[in-house]
């Protein structure tokens, strides 16, 4: 029963350690946690919640930075931060994040991340020049060309299309300060744009096509091809998903400007109405998305709180079970100790009964009395085996009773030795005390111990001093009181 209780207690402790120690949900793998944070950052960036997205990206970066072997995740987070910085016009931060990501990617041979870092650096250069002196178009072109070389080997269609459209924007930028525009630069911009558009269509990616077309609208407007730009805007609106109000808003805004250039006030007014309508729906869509996110967070916190309460209830229940098991175990162990004590007492009583049986023998029988006195003489100098043999002979050959008597005699001798040692008697002095109590004179003692009478008397004087007596009779009486004889 005790073993079963102990096993149950160990099982309960195991559950307590497994459940109670984990007050919160078990931690995720750092890599998985980093991916989840970056996914949240991209989700918020999609609805233009850039500050919240930046916070998630920073958490992912700090998590990757704090764990060894996660340089790829660290570089990925830096690229995401650079992208968010570009969306919020933080060019200097975007440049620093992209440079740091590039450094890690080149060191670790991460070509996909290196491509992204080069694209971000190119975009910083592309959008930084307001005046001809500040323009960094050639620098941007160098970064985009290097990224295109890597993407041609390992990049996705989306990456390749984006790079081609970015290069097209470089050539469009090169012409923004020219009046009239340089036809060679304009031709190169159109060539890269056509290649990007063709690659996107061959990949069957309408969404990418929608990304290219705004650049194409700028290209057509720069070349004075206003009607083509208007047709392009209408095409973008036509292929834009119904609920993508942000894309529609931007396209209608372009139409307002293009119709304004043509002097078509009525068409521009209609486009403006559509722009306002798309803007209102986009803002409502954004608000609904934020509200849904808040509700999701609240539901998650409520669920976590409920789980926490259940964990605490389980812990309290386990503690109560453990206390109960401890109480039961204590009672069982106490009963076991009492049982063992009873068994020991029964054994002692059995020995006592046997000893009393021996003592109750007719000691007035001269033969038995004489044999008993003869048996106990010289016990102090005998071995255990000799004492046991003597006692067995005394008990008329009863080996079991002889062992019990011998055990008693040996215990008695040990107690006498302890009593003698308490008052400082040596083995020789204790032996002289016992011989004196047997009625032997100093001369008899000297003869038995093969020493001189003078030595015996010296021993006696030492004994008198240690026992604080003045005569042989007082010594024998004190010895009897102390159980030495």
Instruction: Dump strand ranges (E) for 160-267.
Output: none
Question: Helices 30-46 and 71-87 sit at what angle, rounded to 10 degrees?
Answer: 10
pLDDT digits (tens, 9 = 90+) for 286-321: 777 777 777 877 888 888 888 888 999 999 999 999
- Nearest 5°: the CA angle 209, 197, 246 is 25
Q: Residue 391, Cβ neighbours under 10 Å: how many?
A: 26
Q: Provide the pLDDT for residue 20.
A: 41
Cis peptide bond N-terminal to 276, omega within 30: no
Q: Using the predicted structure, report yes or no on whether residue 171 has a pLDDT greater than 50.
A: yes
Residue 379 DSSP label: G
CATH number of 25-305: 1.25.40.10
Higher pLDDT, 479 or 269: 269
The C-alpha atoms of residue 398 and residue 400 are separated, in whole angstroms, by 6
Tell which wins on pLDDT, 216 or 21.
Answer: 216
Side-chain half-sphere exposure of 189, counting CA atoms within 13 A: 25
Domain 423-485 belongs to what topology? Arc Repressor Mutant, subunit A (1.10.10)
**How many Cβ atoms sit within 10 Å of the Cβ of residue 315?**
16
- pLDDT higher at 132 or 327: 327
pTM of the model: 0.54
Question: Which of 111, 107, 108, 117 is CA-nearest to residue 85?
Answer: 117
Lowest mean pLDDT among 22-26, 61-65, 148-152, 233-237: 22-26
Give the residue extent of every domain in the chain.
25-305, 423-485
Let me know: does 214 contact 236? Beta carbons within 8 Å.
Answer: yes
Over range 457-463, report the average pLDDT. 90
Contacts of 48 (CB under 8 A, 6+ apart): 87, 246, 286
Mean pLDDT of 187-215: 82
Q: What's the average model confidence in pLDDT over 59-87?
A: 91
pLDDT tens-place string over residues 211-270: 787 888 888 888 889 999 899 888 888 888 887 887 788 888 889 989 898 888 999 899
Pair 163, 118: CB distance under 8 Å: no
Q: Are 128 and 134 in contact (CB under 8 A)?
A: yes
Taking the C-alpha atoms of residue 93 and residue 81, their distance in angstroms, rounded to an integer, is: 9
Model confidence at 2: pLDDT above 60 = no
DSSP-assigned states of every residue in 327-357: HHHHHHHHHHHHHHHHHHHHHHHHHHHHHHH
Q: Which two tokens stand for residue 199?
A: 């690659």
């Amino acid at each position: 029963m005790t073993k079963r209780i102990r096993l149950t207690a160990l099982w309960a402790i195991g559950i307590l350690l497994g459940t109670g120690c984990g007050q919160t949900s078990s931690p995720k793998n750092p890599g998985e946690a980093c991916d989840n944070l970056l996914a949240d950052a991209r989700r918020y960036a999609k609805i233009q919640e850039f500050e919240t997205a930046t916070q998630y990206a920073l958490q992912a970066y700090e998590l990757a930075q704090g764990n060894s072997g996660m340089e790829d995740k660290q570089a990925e987070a830096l690229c995401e931060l650079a992208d968010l910085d570009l969306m919020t016009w933080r060019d200097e931060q975007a440049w620093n994040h992209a440079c740091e990501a590039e450094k890690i990617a080149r060191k670790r041979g991460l070509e996909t991340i290196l491509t992204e870092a080069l694209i971000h650096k190119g975009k910083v250069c592309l959008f930084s020049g307001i005046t001809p002196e500040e323009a960094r178009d050639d620098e941007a072109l160098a970064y985009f060309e290097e990224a295109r070389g890597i993407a041609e080997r390992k990049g996705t269609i989306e990456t390749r299309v984006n790079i081609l459209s970015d290069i097209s924007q470089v050539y469009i930028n090169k012409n923004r300060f020219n009046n009239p525009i340089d036809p060679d630069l304009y031709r190169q911009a159109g060539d890269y744009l056509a290649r990007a558009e063709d690659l996107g269509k061959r990949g069957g990616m309408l969404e990418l096509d929608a990304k290219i077309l705004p650049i194409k609208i700028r290209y057509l407007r720069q070349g004075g091809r206003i009607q083509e730009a208007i047709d392009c805007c209408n095409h973008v609106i036509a292929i834009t998903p119904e609920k993508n109000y942000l894309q529609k808003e931007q396209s209608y805004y372009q139409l307002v400007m293009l119709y304004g250039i043509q002097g078509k006030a009525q068409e521009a007014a209609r486009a403006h109405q559509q722009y306002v309508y798309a803007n209102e729906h986009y803002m409502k869509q954004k608000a609904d998305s934020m509200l849904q996110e808040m509700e999701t967070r609240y539901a998650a916190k409520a669920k976590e709180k409920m789980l926490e309460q259940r964990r605490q209830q389980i812990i309290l229940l386990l503690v109560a079970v453990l206390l109960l098991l401890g109480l039961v175990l204590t009672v069982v162990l106490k009963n076991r100790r009492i049982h063992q004590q009873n068994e020991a007492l029964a054994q002692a009583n059995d020995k006592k009964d046997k000893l009393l049986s021996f003592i109750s023998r007719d000691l007035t029988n001269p033969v038995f009395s004489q044999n008993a006195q003869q048996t106990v003489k010289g016990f102090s100098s005998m071995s255990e085996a000799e004492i046991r043999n003597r006692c067995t002979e005394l008990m008329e050959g009863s080996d079991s009773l002889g062992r019990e008597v011998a055990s008693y005699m040996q215990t008695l001798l040990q107690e006498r030795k302890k009593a003698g040692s308490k008052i400082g008697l040596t083995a020789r002095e204790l032996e002289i005390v016992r011989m004196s109590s047997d009625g032997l004179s100093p001369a008899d003692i000297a003869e038995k111990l093969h020493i001189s009478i003078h030595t015996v008397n010296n021993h006696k004087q030492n004994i008198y001093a240690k026992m604080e007596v003045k005569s042989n009779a007082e010594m024998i009486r004190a010895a009897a009181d102390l159980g030495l004889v």
